[in-house]
A = this chain, B = another copy of it.
């Protein structure tokens, strides 16, 4: 809860500069897909643009594992570092805030204002930690559904997201077929592979092996930074590609000022630039992200299977009424392009309106946060 408050305070500080506000919506409870209930549930969200009188010009943006509601920053709109999908959102951009009411909410399970493991458990008045229930992509989407109803949205013009944001977008199409006009599923598939589960599990084991994890009961600001850094180092490899890492780093020795290794450990024969980069990325995430949230959200990614609860994949996909675009990335090995294309084909085979576009990018999974021109062009094929 402290972490949440700090985030909201920071966002409110930003508000002075950006005239954007992280808003809070709280509802009583959510029945969870894997059993149990969560409540009260808070969603932290941001909006840009205005909802029209008929309530049908809203676009929901769904974020990835370590993302937040801050997809756009009107005060610094050209800077991709100021907000994670900044170059796609704004007046005249693909997600045109002069025409659309654009919404982005932190997922449940997260640590950027929404209810997650770092929130206070109302039964104990202490942070949930690992007493937080298992949550799924479907739970995240059902919470978002409550939010858009609260906001007066009658029909979504679009839902769009990449990675587990893409899983959420797909789930919107299956769960609420009548509510969504268009859905963009970017770098996401019907269910992740054994390899992706494996990478996630190594990351989780790294977090839980850190003695500072304390079975999830660490104090705010005293979490398993070493374990979370190592988890992030691994994740960063899977977000890139052999090709892009070779272009950026090759076998160069460290170029810039040295970052701090998670373990402060001795180097064996010097430091490669790519190692220094991974240390930096690990350290950055450990400073801003909650380790337990990482466990829960990465698990939601593993558990997601669009066919769960249906007689077949075809039955699940057959529910879709939205116009779908699936965007794969040539060099993505976390959500291989072939899996994304396969899913698009499946939707078509059951009579859906689905198009597949592939980004010809060397940047791996992360291309959905980098290839602004290609992404815009792909999405314009809607």
Q: How many identical subunits does the complex contain? A: 2
Q: In the complex, what's the smallest C-beta–C-beta distance from A107 to chain B, in angstroms?
A: 15
> Do residues B209 and A262 form an inter-chain contact, with CB atoms below 8 A?
yes
Residue A234 at the B interface, CB < 8 A?
A: yes
Q: In the complex, what's the smallest C-beta–C-beta distance from A63 to chain B, in angstroms?
A: 20
- Across-interface contacts of A263 in B (CB, < 8 A): 205, 208-209
Instruction: Kindly supply a per-residue 1/0 record for chain A positions 16-48, scoring 1 wherever the CB is within 8 Å of any chain B CB and 0 otherwise.
Output: 000000000000000000100000000000000
Residue A296 at the B interface, CB < 8 A?
A: yes
Contact pick for A193, options B245, B265, B278, B299, CB 8 Å: B245
> Do residues B208 and A333 form an inter-chain contact, with CB atoms below 8 A?
no
- Across-interface contacts of A136 in B (CB, < 8 A): 269
- Across-interface contacts of A233 in B (CB, < 8 A): 198, 201-202, 205
Residue A96 at the B interface, CB < 8 A?
A: no
Q: Given the complex of chains A and B, what is the CA–CA distance between A204 and B234 in angstroms?
A: 12
- Whose C-beta in chain B lies nearest to the C-beta of A273? B194
- Whose C-beta in chain B lies nearest to the C-beta of A211? B211
- Across-interface contacts of A195 in B (CB, < 8 A): 237, 240-242, 245-246
> Do residues B202 and A269 form an inter-chain contact, with CB atoms below 8 A?
no
- Whose C-beta in chain B lies nearest to the C-beta of A265? B208
Residue A162 at the B interface, CB < 8 A?
A: no
Quick one: given A206-B209, A209-B262, A209-B263, are A274 and B198 in contact (CB under 8 Å)?
yes
Residue A251 at the B interface, CB < 8 A?
A: yes
Q: Given the complex of chains A and B, what is the CA–CA distance between A95 and B205 in angstroms?
A: 41
> Do residues B333 and A242 form an inter-chain contact, with CB atoms below 8 A?
yes
Instruction: Kindly supply a per-residue 1/0 record for chain A positions 319-337, scoring 1 wherever the CB is within 8 Å of any chain B CB and 0 otherwise.
Output: 0000000000000010010
Residue A218 at the B interface, CB < 8 A?
A: no
Residue A199 at the B interface, CB < 8 A?
A: yes
Quick one: given A195-B237, A237-B195, A269-B134, are A278 and B201 in contact (CB under 8 Å)?
yes
Q: Given the complex of chains A and B, what is the CA–CA distance between A205 and B207 in angstroms?
A: 12
Q: Given the complex of chains A and B, what is the CA–CA distance between A246 and B303 in angstroms?
A: 16
> Do residues A198 and B230 form an inter-chain contact, with CB atoms below 8 A?
no
Residue A266 at the B interface, CB < 8 A?
A: yes
Residue A261 at the B interface, CB < 8 A?
A: yes
Contact pick for A198, options B237, B261, B295, B296, CB 8 Å: B237
Q: In the complex, what's the smallest C-beta–C-beta distance from A210 to chain B, in angstroms?
A: 7
Q: In the complex, what's the smallest C-beta–C-beta distance from A273 to chain B, in angstroms?
A: 8
> Do residues A197 and B272 form an inter-chain contact, with CB atoms below 8 A?
yes
8 sample A-B contacts, Cβ–Cβ < 8 Å, listed by A number: A193-B245, A194-B245, A195-B245, A201-B233, A205-B261, A268-B296, A272-B302, A333-B333
